[in-house]
Chain A
Amino acid sequence: MVDVFVNKEEKILREKGAENKELEKKEQELYEGNLNLESLLNNPKRHDFWGHTHNPLSSFSFIPDSVKFINEDPEEKVLLLLRKHAITNLSWIFVSFLMIILPFFAQVFIPSGFLTHEFQLIIFLIWYLIILAFSLEKFLSWFFHVNIITDERIIEVDFVNLFYREITDANIDQIQDVTVEMGGAIDTFFRFGNVVIQTAAEIPKITFESVPNPDKVARILRELRIQEEKEKLEGRVR
């Protein structure tokens, strides 16, 4: 169905020495969207799919095994779980590292002669408590800011900071336009970028920020839209 699946499927078939004809047929099925989404989701080989991972910290997880989210429909199946590429965390990790080593340099400049030894130690520990809070906030904001694509809709869960969250969703059939934005040396090198989705929903634009393999995400969305169109024509609406 989607090309992220195609590569792995192709590899598996080649490894098993399947005939070229069978491979071609399978590829055709996948590209033309003839393969049923249900069969893809219930495929016992889904653990071998490209992008399928059991790492909960992964930025790109194709058909994840155990993802649940608020207001999920019982029949809804998660196809893709995305979050910002791990490399985007580098800036706050670097700042934290600088903060960690700062006290060793600051001791030379800050006079602390009138403070007792115990008090100095407490000040030192408080500084590390602040670093811990800073790192924790950045990590949690990254971890819980996810984009989910299900067989029925797209969802953006955004924890702007520790005390503010925003959940946006739009049905697949409400998607009007999908744009992939990729620019800059780091984005190109690590293959991540924005996927901007124009929708006919109440919120006209949903952006999947700095997600890995944005082209593949756009392709999956396109395939889902085609499938949704087909379902509409066939009169199958869940």
Chain B
Amino acid sequence: MNFLTSFEFSALYLIKIATIVFLLLYLIFALLVIKQVKVMTETLQVGFENQIKALVFFHFLFAVLLLIIFIVFVL
């Protein structure tokens, strides 16, 4: 019984570590997307740049928000 509890505990611990690593990597990815969209809009302008920039910025905000929620409520 003790063994099962400690196994569950270490598995949960591992999942938490993996999740936070994933969220940090995702944050870097979201930043890269912002940078890449900036390059794309410099390459081509068709009058929809602001909307696309807003979209990728909200994507980045979503990733930040998720990381904060995870740190505050789960860790």
Question: Do A and B actually bind?
Answer: yes
Q: Whole-angstrom distance from the CB of A203 to the nearest CB of chain B?
A: 18
Give the secondary structure class of B's interface.
helix
Number of A-B residue pairs, CB cutoff 8 Å, is 82
Residue of A whose beta carbon sits closest to that of B65: A125
Residues of chain A lying within 8 A (CB to CB) of residue B47: 56, 65-67
How many of chain B's residues touch chain A, expressed as a range?
A: 20 to 34
Residue of B whose beta carbon sits closest to that of A81: B46
Q: Mark A106-132, 1 if CB is under 8 A from B, else 0.
A: 000000001110110011011001001
A50 contacts B by Cβ under 8 Å: no
Given contacts A114-B12, A115-B12, A122-B70, contact A133 B59 (CB under 8 A): yes
Given contacts A57-B48, A136-B56, A157-B43, contact A116 B74 (CB under 8 A): yes
- Contact present for B74 and A136 (CB under 8 Å): no
- Contact present for A114 and B8 (CB under 8 Å): yes
A31 contacts B by Cβ under 8 Å: no
Residues of chain B lying within 8 A (CB to CB) of residue A189: none
Q: Whole-angstrom distance from the CB of A218 to the nearest CB of chain B?
A: 23
Complex CA gap A133/B32 in Å reads 12
Complex CA gap A215/B71 in Å reads 57
